[in-house]
């Protein structure tokens, strides 16, 4: 059990809440894909922790694969124009694909990834996102499975980072303002 990280302002979702919701999502997927096999794909790096927990709650044959992409353009918001740094190794033609995502914000990255994978003619393609941010302009991406709605704040933990830190926190929380300021 971790102590509360000194940079964390507030815990939004506890370790126990995450575990319970991920278990429910796994059960739902197990029910929906009964008798089928799945290829689950996560976009590195944030979603890797969620996917690792989710697959262990799915009682079916599940293959795991990974993609790494980089967004073009500066700023804190993604542009939606992405470059593939690492492609998946699996052939997904005629397979059931589920993309595991950590958080859906603008949805631009996910939209691009979905279109790319859909062009390879999978049998089906769906999204399981752990978090969905309640932004003023909601993402137009159909997510079959959503873990939690979260406020439009910057959050870290359970795979989510700030400057590559805090991914290993077992809970999801907000950061203290002092962390963003230059000391």
Q: Which residues would be at the binding site for ligand IMP (CB under 6 A)?
A: 46, 78, 102-110, 154-156, 160
Lookup result for tokens 């370790």? 15
Residues with catalytic roles: 105
Residue 144 token pair: 């079959």
* Distance (Å, whole) CA 25 – CA 50: 11
Smallest distance, Mg ion to C-beta of residue 61, A? 26
Crossing angle for the helix pair 15-32 and 47-55, to the nearest 10 degrees:
60
Q: Which is nearer to ligand IMP, 53 or 102 (CB)?
A: 102
Which residues lie closer than 8 Å to 176 by C-beta, 6 or more apart?
Answer: 7, 8, 9
Residue number, 53 or 105, with CB nearest to ligand IMP: 105
- Closest distance between Mg ion and the C-beta of residue 42, in Å? 9
**Pairing state between β 172-175 and 8-13:** antiparallel
Q: Is 159 in the site for Mg ion (CB under 5 A)?
A: no
Nearer CB in complex with ligand IMP: 58/82: 82
Q: Closest separation between CB of residue 53 and ligand IMP, Å? A: 16
Q: Which is nearer to ligand IMP, 15 or 161 (CB)?
A: 161
- Tell which residue, 147, 128, 139, has the closest CA to residue 39: 128
The answer to whether 107 contacts Mg ion (rule: CB under 5 A) is no
Q: Which of residues 25-64 bind Mg ion (CB under 5 A)?
A: 46
Tokens of 100: 């595991």
């Amino acid at each position: 059990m971790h102590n509360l990280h000194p940079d964390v302002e507030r815990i939004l979702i506890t370790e126990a809440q995450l575990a319970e919701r991920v278990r429910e999502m796994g059960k739902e997927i197990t029910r929906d894909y009964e008798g089928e096999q799945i290829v689950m794909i996560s976009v590195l790096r944030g979603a890797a922790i969620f996917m690792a927990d989710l697959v262990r709650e799915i009682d079916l044959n599940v293959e795991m694969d990974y993609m790494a992409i980089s967004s073009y353009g500066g700023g804190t918001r993604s542009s939606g124009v992405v470059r593939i740094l690492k492609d998946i190794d699996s052939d997904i033609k005629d397979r059931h694909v589920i993309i595991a995502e950590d958080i859906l914000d603008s949805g631009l990255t996910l939209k691009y990834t979905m279109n790319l994978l859909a062009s390879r003619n999978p049998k089906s393609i769906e999204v399981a996102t752990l978090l969905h941010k309640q932004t003023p302009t909601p993402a137009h991406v159909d997510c079959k499975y959503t873990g939690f709605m979260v406020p439009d704040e910057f959050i870290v933990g359970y795979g989510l980072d700030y400057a590559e830190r805090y991914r290993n926190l077992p809970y999801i929380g907000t950061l203290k303002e002092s962390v963003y300021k230059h000391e």
